Chains A and B, each alone.
Chain A
């Protein structure tokens, strides 16, 4: 099976729309005041959870290419990865604005003292070079080092999921589901590279 050339662009547009969906919905809800009792919390949680979901989808592209014999899926990996970065950045900006009132010294305090923020901040910071070098130009310039550099995304995945697991109170299933998905994606990769 293969994605025919005429579908490449429509699928790209569709994926952009799907990834933009949560952001549009949140903007709409902000505008119409339907974010619930604690709007800042809703914005923080929703941007965070969508960053993780989209990041996991971007991590699923390579295993899916092999599983479904759809090499062209790689055409959409950058797009999805950049949307994950978009939500992670929005998540951080909301936290910086409403939780810390733009105090960078408090960011530092949080990053040093609170492991779940250390993990989340690590994930965000490591996404920056990946986003910057995601262009065709950088891909050419870095040659084989490009894919080495972009292996950092595995660390991002682990850090992001740890951030989620560590911030919940009590024993809760939801963050562990994301941890399990990440573990499955990693196992598929490990299995595939062993086969080679």
Chain B
């Protein structure tokens, strides 16, 4: 039922060239001029996900949720993506500053297949799924989002992590010489860093997303690929990933580096462990006025709680 609804407006959308795409083509014209002058041509014409528009649109739904979905507009205009600015409206406003083409992912550390990969080498675009997950921000608001992507495990397996790989570390795009608008301020220690324990990374719920609502991820949502870990606070879902590193020791993560008392490595959604500055017992679902109770592990306890058996969640926050 849901897929049909999606497809009906998908078609009408596809007939129109969006203003953003139109502008990107103009950028491409300029770029290709420069490229010709330098004697090379970029591998693909425009934003790296555009070539997979059809596969993203066709991804079958494999997980539903009996809660009202947030609109595409809500999901893509109210974002925390400090690389593009700290206000919620900054990322969409500055979205064009993020260049996603060309894009490559540098894989290293404790694995048998390190190297530099193109996105299609890591993600099987013919195996994309749509999954509807809750997204709970550490700031106590939440949304329900239909992601399109693959299980992170399918991607990591191609890199063949070895037995020393106890953790996976991720980094967001950062070019010191050409910082994104938000990276000019010291809001965080760039690049943005995130990490998961290997069992968390391999968990079937953990997803690498390339789309929302059957459309390629817009830049403000972390194009071209971003992590989705639905039982953790939203900031664990690192965006616009350029580096993946397998490590034996727990990697550093940006918010933990910035305020260790407030943001732990695990950052599992937990209504019983408050943020030092605010309560995590409840949340505002975007679209609602009053708050609703926050669920243990964001409602995914049945599937993930066993990974934390025997751990004190109030110290391992």
- Which residue numbers of A lie inside 8 Å of B, CB to CB? 36-41, 98-99, 101, 109-110, 113-116, 166-167, 169-173
- Partner of A114 from the list B141, B255, B277, B286 (CB cut-off 8 Å) is B277
Q: List 12 A-B contacts (CB under 8 A).
A: A36-B88, A37-B77, A37-B78, A38-B284, A98-B284, A98-B291, A101-B291, A166-B277, A169-B139, A170-B86, A171-B185, A172-B86
Q: Is the CB of A36 within 8 A of B78?
A: yes
Kindly provide the distance from the CB of B273 to the nearest chain A CB, expressed in whole angstroms. 13
Residues of A within 8 A of B77 (CB): 37
Residues of A within 8 A of B139 (CB): 169
Residues of B within 8 A of A113 (CB): 274
Instruction: Please give me the residue from chain B that is nearest to A42 by CB atom.
Output: B88
- Which residue numbers of B lie inside 8 Å of A, CB to CB? 73-74, 77-78, 82, 86, 88-89, 139, 141, 185-188, 255, 258-259, 274, 276-279, 284, 286, 289-291
Q: Is the CB of A40 within 8 A of B89?
A: no
Knowing A36-B89, A114-B277, A116-B277, say if A41 contacts B141 (CB, 8 Å).
yes
Interface residues of chain A: helix, strand, loop or mixed (majority): helix
Q: How far is the CA of A98 from the CA of B285 in the complex (A)?
A: 12
Q: Find the residue from B74, B77, B277, B286 having the highest chain A CB count within 10 A.
A: B277
Residues of B within 8 A of A172 (CB): 86, 187
Q: Is the CB of A40 within 8 A of B284?
A: yes
Kindly provide the distance from the CB of A35 to the nearest chain B CB, expressed in whole angstroms. 11
Q: How far is the CA of A116 from the CA of B279 in the complex (A)?
A: 12
Q: How far is the CA of A187 from the CA of B152 in the complex (A)?
A: 56
Instruction: Please give me the residue from chain B that is nearest to A100 by CB atom.
Output: B291
Q: How far is the CA of A40 from the CA of B292 in the complex (A)?
A: 14
Which 10 A-B residue pairs are closest in the complex by CB-CB distance? A37-B78, A170-B187, A37-B74, A170-B188, A114-B277, A171-B186, A170-B258, A98-B289, A171-B187, A116-B277
- Partner of A98 from the list B82, B255, B278, B290 (CB cut-off 8 Å) is B290
Q: Is the CB of A167 within 8 A of B277?
A: yes
A38-B88, A110-B279, A172-B86 known; 18 other A-B pairs, CB under 8 Å?
A: A36-B88, A37-B77, A37-B88, A39-B289, A40-B284, A41-B141, A41-B284, A98-B289, A98-B291, A99-B284, A114-B276, A114-B279, A116-B277, A170-B82, A170-B258, A171-B185, A171-B258, A172-B187
Q: How far is the CA of A109 from the CA of B279 in the complex (A)?
A: 10
Instruction: Please give me the residue from chain B that is nearest to A39 by CB atom.
Output: B289
Residues of A within 8 A of B276 (CB): 114
Q: Is the CB of B141 within 8 A of A38?
A: yes
Residues of B within 8 A of A39 (CB): 289
Q: How far is the CA of A39 from the CA of B82 in the complex (A)?
A: 21
Residues of B within 8 A of A36 (CB): 78, 88-89
Kindly provide the distance from the CB of A85 to the nearest chain B CB, expressed in whole angstroms. 25
Q: How far is the CA of A93 from the CA of B77 in the complex (A)?
A: 27
Residues of B within 8 A of A171 (CB): 185-188, 258
Q: How far is the CA of A62 from the CA of B125 in the complex (A)?
A: 66
Instruction: Please give me the residue from chain B that is nearest to A109 by CB atom.
Output: B279
Kindly provide the distance from the CB of A156 to the nearest chain B CB, expressed in whole angstroms. 21
Q: How far is the CA of A169 from the CA of B185 in the complex (A)?
A: 14
Residues of B within 8 A of A170 (CB): 82, 86, 187-188, 255, 258-259
Instruction: Please give me the residue from chain A that is nearest to B82 by CB atom.
Output: A170
Instruction: Please give me the residue from chain B that is nearest to A99 by CB atom.
Output: B291
Q: How far is the CA of A115 from the CA of B277 in the complex (A)?
A: 7
Q: How far is the CA of A166 from the CA of B187 in the complex (A)?
A: 14
Residues of A within 8 A of B89 (CB): 36
Instruction: Please give me the residue from chain B that is nearest to A110 by CB atom.
Output: B279
Knowing A166-B277, A173-B185, say if A38 contacts B86 (CB, 8 Å).
no
Kindly provide the distance from the CB of B192 to the nearest chain A CB, expressed in whole angstroms. 11
Instruction: Please give me the residue from chain B that is nearest to A101 by CB atom.
Output: B290
Kindly provide the distance from the CB of B73 to the nearest chain A CB, expressed in whole angstroms. 8
Q: How far is the CA of A172 from the CA of B186 in the complex (A)?
A: 8
Q: How far is the CA of A60 from the CA of B74 in the complex (A)?
A: 40
Kindly provide the distance from the CB of A165 to the nearest chain B CB, expressed in whole angstroms. 11
Q: Is the CB of B289 within 8 A of A40?
A: yes
Kindly provide the distance from the CB of A53 to the nearest chain B CB, expressed in whole angstroms. 17
Q: Find the residue from A39, A99, A116, A173 having the highest chain B CB count within 10 A.
A: A99
Residues of B within 8 A of A173 (CB): 185
Instruction: Please give me the residue from chain A that is nearest to B275 by CB atom.
Output: A114
Residues of A within 8 A of B278 (CB): 114
Q: How far is the CA of A166 from the CA of B278 in the complex (A)?
A: 11
